[in-house]
């Protein structure tokens, strides 16, 4: 259960919006959404071993990423274990989701949606008006997930991905 700013209490399904300015630590059905810590980098690379559809970054890349201007990163955790993450960035009034992955055993529990909502809330609080992302053209599950979360297709980038070579579907969501 979570309490929204207007005092209502509701079960978190991953579809709700996080209140702007809410604390970094948020509860969801499977555990907690919290800010990424440099010590989480090993867990993120472990999750990526089981998520070939996600962008594969190194542990060092995640640690260095947090020093980048406009960086946004959250993890989902349950029972002391990191089970998912989202990485994004913001430049001026535009933001981008760069990577989102959830461990296979934690999928279909609302963690991906909770992570996405946490990042969108942060982008909104920072003044972003639009959020973009790219997804493999063949990843129909991810495309459906983002469409369910109010993203729409806005373009296509041929040859964007490697191993295998594949186009990216560009998706966008307006925040204001």
Q: Which residue has the tokens 């690379």?
A: 45
Average pLDDT over residues 2-7: 34
**Whether the Cβ atoms of residue 119 and residue 72 lie closer than 8 Å to each other:** yes
**pTM, entire model:** 0.79
Residues known to be catalytic: 134, 146
Separation of alpha carbons 86 and 96, rounded Å: 11
Q: How far is CA 111 from the centre of its chain?
A: 9
Domains within the chain, CATH numbers bracketed: 23-174 (3.40.630.30)
Q: Which of 49-53, 77-81, 145-149 has the lowest mean pLDDT?
A: 49-53
Q: In what order do the strands lie in the sheet with 31-35?
A: 26-28, 31-35, 71-78, 81-91, 94-102, 130-136, 166-174, 152-161
Separation of alpha carbons 72 and 120, rounded Å: 10
Separation of alpha carbons 160 and 154, rounded Å: 15
């Amino acid at each position: 259960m979570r309490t929204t700013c207007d005092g209502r209490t509701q079960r978190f399904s991953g579809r709700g919006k996080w209140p702007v300015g809410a604390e970094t630590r948020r509860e969801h059905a499977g555990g907690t959404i919290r800010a990424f810590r440099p010590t989480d980098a090993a867990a993120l690379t472990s999750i990526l071993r089981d998520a070939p559809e996600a962008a594969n970054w190194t542990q060092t890349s995640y640690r260095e990423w947090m020093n980048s201007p406009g960086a946004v990163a959250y993890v989902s955790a349950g029972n002391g274990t990191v089970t998912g993450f989202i990485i994004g960035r913001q430049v001026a009034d535009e933001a981008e989701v760069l990577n989102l992955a959830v461990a296979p055993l934690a999928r279909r529990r609302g963690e991906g949606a909770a992570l996405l909502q946490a990042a969108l809330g942060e982008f909104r609080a920072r003044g972003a008006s639009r959020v973009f992302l790219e997804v493999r053209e063949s990843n129909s599950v991810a495309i459906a997930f983002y469409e369910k979360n109010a993203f729409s297709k806005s373009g296509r980038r041929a040859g964007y991905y490697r191993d295998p070579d594949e186009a990216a579907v560009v998706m966008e969501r307006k925040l204001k």
